[in-house]
Amino acid sequence: MSDMDRVVTVPIGPQHPALKEPESFMVDLRGEKIDAVRMRFGYNHRGIEKGCEQRSYTQDLYLVERVCGICSFAHSTAFIQAVEEIAGIELPKRATYIRTIIAELERIHSHLLWLGVAGHEIGFDTLLMYTWRDREQVMILLARLTGNRVNYGMNTVGGVRRDIAPEMIPEILKVVDSLEERTKYYIDMGTREQTLIQRLSGVGKLSREDALRLGTVGPTARASGVDRDTRRDDPYAAYSEVSFKVIIDDHCDVYGRTLVRLGELMETYSILRQLLKQIPEGPIAVKAPRRIPEGEAVSRYEAPRGEDVHYVRGNGSEKPERVKVRAPTLANTQSVSKMLEDGYLADLPIVIAAIDPCFSCTDRMVRLNEGSGGEGRTMGWEEVTRYGVQWHKARGLDLSKIKIPGGGGA
């Protein structure tokens, strides 16, 4: 049997190169190409849903916020919206505006974070350094507005806990203006830098039919031509008060996913300007009962990675009867196996990174089994990334050579 015919199963798996552990992705390789992928998740299971039943709604805000360290506000808001719906609480307008402002600032930091991580996975570390330096502007701003860089503690039942002082509005606009300029450089690079375009095009293909069939959400779905965005389709917070485009692309690959996120950043800057111009005066919260009546509600929120769904059931007490969280990454897991099929092992890191999974999902390891009777070889995730970078360099794509336009300056 030739090398090309031999199927080699590559378990991509645990969290550490030093250890043998259950694998999360079992990849069957045929030569350098991926035949099939089987997946396993759950290593991160903490027991949050049960924990929510044992804590009050207010305590649960702090727990649910920490489901994920990137879209913490998404989870906090999705949760509290369901609670407020059960209790029949109507929020003051100003509170909905503040929530939307924080939500969009979170989208900025998340998309810039993603851009940097994607850059790292393809050997373009300059992009990581620049985007994360830019991202610091938002992190500092969020810390000034909320008291923390992540996990803002902004929500309460019935509104938000902190107001946005009038003198902060020009500060927010300054950051928006500055990041809009930076994003334009990244878009310019993304649309003109041939090495980058070639590296990302045709990689991680997912047709529109498959995206629909497999329940894909977020920028990943929109890059396959699926015209869905919860902010427009089922508006919440203050989204029905602003106008924005839903960014759709039909490349159906990692390049498309990059363009969608860059386009979304530009729309976010526009949304923020509208919100800051229109934000009404008024209270930032209404008094809410500690006991939430019997009832149930489902809240949907467009997190940076896609639709986040929270179901809450009240039983008349201070603690919820049931809290169910469906994070966007979970919806995209089956799409990932499809995208990896018939692709190159060298592209595995960027394809997985392109659905923007929770960071720890990408801290994986590759173990090469040489089939029965062979010896195992251990590779870390960084090694697979390096393998991918070398593989593409050998084919003329060296991303470390790319200069970022207008890259100088603070």
Partner 1 sequence: MMDIQALATELSTRFALPEGAVKVQRATRLWVEVDRAMFSEVFDYTVKSLGFTILCTITGLDLGADLGFIYHLARDGGVMINLKTRCPKAESIRTVTSYFPCADIYERELVDLFGARVEGLPTGARYPLPEDWPEGEHPLLKDWKPKTTEAPAPTSEAHAPTSEAAKGAVSE
Partner 2 sequence: MGVFHRIVRWAQRKSPWILHFNTGACNACDIEIIAALTPRFDLERLGVVLKGTPRHCDILACSGPVTKQIKDRLVRIYEQVPEPKIVVAIGSCATSGGVFNGLYNVEGGIDQAIPVTAYIPGCPASPQAIIDGFVKVIKSLEEKK
**Residues within the interface to partner 2 (CB under 8 A):** 14-19, 21, 43-48, 50-51, 54, 62-63, 66-70, 72, 113, 128-129, 132-133, 136, 139, 148-151, 358-360, 363, 380, 382
Q: Which does 289 bind (CB under 5 to 8 A by kind): partner 2, partner 1, none?
A: none
Contact assessment for residue 214 and residue 39, using Cβ atoms and an 8 Å cutoff? no
Least distance to partner 1, CB of residue 324, Å: 4
Does residue 45 touch partner 1 according to CB under 8 A?
yes
Q: Which does 139 bind (CB under 5 to 8 A by kind): partner 1, partner 2, none?
A: partner 2
Supply 185's token pair. Answer: 């450089």
Q: Which residues make Cβ contacts (< 8 Å) with residue 55, sequence separation at least 6?
A: 63, 319
Q: Which does 16 bind (CB under 5 to 8 A by kind): partner 1, partner 2, none?
A: partner 2
In angstroms, the CA 132 to CA 116 distance is 6
Least distance to partner 2, CB of residue 258, Å: 20
Nearer of residues 41 and 359 to partner 1, judged by Cβ: 41
Cα–chain center distance at 410: 26
Q: Residues 304-323 vs partner 1: string with x where CB under 8 A?
A: ---x-x-x-x--------x-
In angstroms, the CA 82 to CA 314 distance is 10
Helix, strand, or coil (residue 126): helix
Residue 177 has a CB neighbour count (10 Å cut-off) of: 11
Does residue 248 touch partner 1 according to CB under 8 A?
no
In angstroms, the CA 247 to CA 260 distance is 6
C-alpha angle with apex 119: 342 to 228, nearest 5 degrees?
65
Among 35, 180, 193, 234, binds partner 1 (CB under 8 A): 234
Least distance to partner 1, CB of residue 93, Å: 18
In angstroms, the CA 190 to CA 255 distance is 9
The helix (run of H) or strand (run of E) holding residue 368 is strand 365-368
Contact assessment for residue 340 and residue 37, using Cβ atoms and an 8 Å cutoff? yes
Does residue 153 touch partner 1 according to CB under 8 A?
no
Among 6, 16, 20, 50, binds partner 1 (CB under 8 A): 50
Q: Nearest-CA neighbor of 217 among 303, 298, 299, 297?
A: 303
Nearer of residues 278 and 360 to partner 2, judged by Cβ: 360
Q: Which does 202 bind (CB under 5 to 8 A by kind): partner 2, partner 1, none?
A: none
Return the residue matching tokens 């100088």: 408
Among left, alpha and beta (phi > 0; psi -120 to 50; other), residue 116 is: alpha
Residues in region 73-112 near partner 1 by CB under 8 A: 85
Q: Which does 94 bind (CB under 5 to 8 A by kind): partner 1, partner 2, none?
A: none
Does residue 213 touch partner 1 according to CB under 8 A?
yes
Q: Which residues pair with 364 in a beta bridge?
A: none
Q: Contacts with partner 1: how many residues (CB under 8 A)?
A: 37
In angstroms, the CA 67 to CA 90 distance is 26
Q: Which does 8 bind (CB under 5 to 8 A by kind): partner 2, partner 1, none?
A: none
Helix, strand, or coil (residue 255): helix
Least distance to partner 2, CB of residue 98, Å: 22
Binding site for partner 1 (CB under 8 A): 22, 38-43, 45, 47, 49-50, 85, 212-215, 227-228, 230, 233-235, 296-298, 300, 307, 309, 311, 313, 322, 324, 326, 330-331, 333-334
